[in-house]
Structure 1
Amino acid sequence: MQVLLAGATGAIGRPLIRALTANGHTVWALVRNPGAHPLVRELGATPVTADVLDRDGLLRAVEGLRAEAVIHQATALRDAKVQRRIPADDPTGLLRTVGTANLLDAAAVVGAGRFVTQSLILGYGYHDHGGRLVTERDQFGVYDGGVGWPTRWSARVWQARARSSMRPVSTPSRCGTGSSTVPARSVTCSRT
């Protein structure tokens, strides 16, 4: 499978490149800084220079590439601070909102039928859920006025957008049964 990966040089992106390439997949790794090209090549991927927050630049960078899946692991958590409210200009929030919208457009350009992004606990509410296990069967993005609500709301919007543009795929039993149209909120459940 050919994969377009955003967040390729991060804490999840690096081992993900290794795992994907070790299993025979081809990885196009999105990086903002050309200085990261040697690292990306060493990990086994092909670097593509683009900023996911720059829609036009991103679409130009992926033009002519083909990928069956887009994986979104881009964050800006390196210098993150604990906050009661997440400001509108929070870098990770922007990557999850604007970046995701741009990556969905890139997915269309490269012909991807799958879009996968990291889990977002904020999607289920940033509060104590008690002893109950929160799963993908729980309602996602419910308004509670709490921290992370803007990010959660945008996640619902891009989730609906992905569902309307992606083809249905099987869901492995460890993630539930049946089929879905890539709920775009978990990298722990591989879609086949």
Structure 2
Amino acid sequence: MNVFIVGGTGTLGRQIVRRALDEGHQVHCLVRSPAKATFLREWGATLLQGNLCYPESIVDALKYCGASVIIDAATTRPTDTLTIEAVDWQGKVNLIQAAQAADIQHFIFFSIMGAQDYPHVPLMQIKQCTEDFLRESGLNYTILRPSGFFQGIIGQYAIPILENHSIWVMGESTAIAYMDTQDVAKFAVRCLDRAATYGQAFDLAGPEAWTADQIIKLCENLSGQEAKITRLPIGVLRATRQLTQWFQWTWNISDRLAFTEVIASGTSLNAPMEEVYRVFDLDPTETLTLEAYLQEYFTRILRKLKELDYEKVKQKKASRKRSPFKSTP
């Protein structure tokens, strides 16, 4: 199948590209900078330069590649110069309208679990509005709503513990059913040959929901190091968000801080998955657990750290032997 993927350079998007190629699909990726996406070309994808903020570039790319399916995994990053509204709302409107004009047969969109419950959080509100716009577009659509990715846990918990830095925990600990992006990609690519997913929205939850304290404990056990935890009340988070709203260059940070309130609310982000696995014909026992993911990560990192330490010791010993200033008895 000829697939048009948006957001292919992202944490999730690259896994979708890899999975689609591995399963024999023809993949075209809309990218802002082909130079930064050469790895996708090396995998076998065709790169088409374009930008969600420029509707004509989307129209031209779809016309060129002749794709029948769109998988949209794009979103703004906190460091982007473009705002969440520009990319995650107006950009998605542009993409959906281009899909209508190109007579796309199936549009697969990534939202967020529980978006409808947080209308005061900009990213959640925009995701919900985009879902509504897609439903009203007349396109065959599938909406996938993951709650969070294992990959985000590394920077938030694992690395600070290894580097003896503080982990910031805010508000009441929320249990989140994270998933590995490779498993999320399975669902996205499986949509390509599942007409049963048309017109449906699916929450995607991992095998178990984890609170921040549970994740920290797991990381401590696997790393053999004690975490430094700094707990902040939700009021401090809200005050910081209000401050960042005053400056245009911190708008994205402000919006992301608002999203942090979701994971500090104490309301679990989890969902039953039995029916979802049945519809997608996937085996739940093959879904990676957080324990296995972090075990592999810490084993690999700690082994590398030991190797680096061993090399440093060898270099120091060699340096002492070669030193011309070494004293003689």
Confirm or deny that 1:30 pairs with 2:36: no
Deviation at 1:185, TM superposition (A): 6.8
Offset at 1:147?
Answer: 1.6
Distance 1:161 1:191, change over 3 A: farther
Kindly state the Cα deviation for residue 16 of structure 1 after the two structures are TM-superposed.
1.0
CA distance 1:28–1:21, change in 2 (3 Å): same
Runs of 4+ in 1 over 6 A off after TM superposition: 184-192
State the shift of 1:123 in Å: 2.0
Q: Distance in 2 between matches of 1:95 and 1:120?
A: 16
User: Is the contact made by 2:13 and 2:73 (CA closer than 8 Å) also made in structure 1?
Assistant: yes
- Unaligned runs of 5+ residues in structure 1 are 81-88, 127-144
- 1:41-190 alignment to 2 at 5 Å? 41-79=41-79, 91-121=83-113, 123-126=115-118, 145-148=119-122, 150-152=125-127, 154-162=129-137, 164-166=138-140, 179=196, 181-183=198-200
Q: Contact 1:71/1:115 (CA < 8 Å) preserved in 2?
A: yes
Mapped contact 1:6–1:31 kept (Cα < 8 A): yes
Asked if the contact 1:7–1:72 (Cα under 8 Å) also holds between the matched residues in 2, the reply is: yes
Q: Mark the CA change 1:5 to 1:167 in structure 2 (over 3 Å): closer, same or farther.
A: closer
Total equivalences in the alignment: 158
Report the Cα offset of residue 93 of structure 1: 3.6
Other structure's SS at 2:3 match = strand
Larger radius of gyration: 2
Tell me, in whole angstroms, the C-alpha distance in 2 between the residues paired with 1:19 and 1:180.
Answer: 19
SS of 1:74 mapped into structure 2:
coil
Look up the equivalent residue of 1:151 and give its one-letter code. I
Secondary structure (helix, strand or coil) at the match of 1:47 reads strand
Q: Tell me how far apart the structure 1 counterparts of residues 82 and 49 of structure 2 sit (CA, whole Å).
A: 23
Summarize deviations over 1:16-72 as a string: whole Å, max 9, x none. 111000001111001001313422211321000000111122212322322121011
Contact 2:53–2:87 at 8 Å: present in 1 too? Answer: yes
Distance in 2, Cα, partners of 1:186 & 1:48: 30
Q: State whether residues 159 and 183 of structure 1, in contact with CA within 8 Å, keep that contact through their aligned partners in structure 2.
A: no
Matched position secondary structure for 1:165? coil
Identify if the C-alpha distance between structure 1 residues 102 and 186 changes in structure 2 by more than 3 Å, giving closer, same or farther: farther
The RMSD of aligned alpha carbons is: 3.4
CA contact (8 A) 2:21 2:27 kept: yes
Is the 8 Å Cα contact of residues 116 and 128 (structure 2) preserved in structure 1?
A: no
Q: Identity rate of aligned residues, in percent? A: 23
Q: Going by fraction, where is helix more abundant, 1 or 2?
A: 2
Deviations 1:77-132 (A, max 9, x none): 2538xxxxxxxx97334322112111112323443211111132352323xxxxxx
| DSSP-derived class of the 2:98 partner | helix
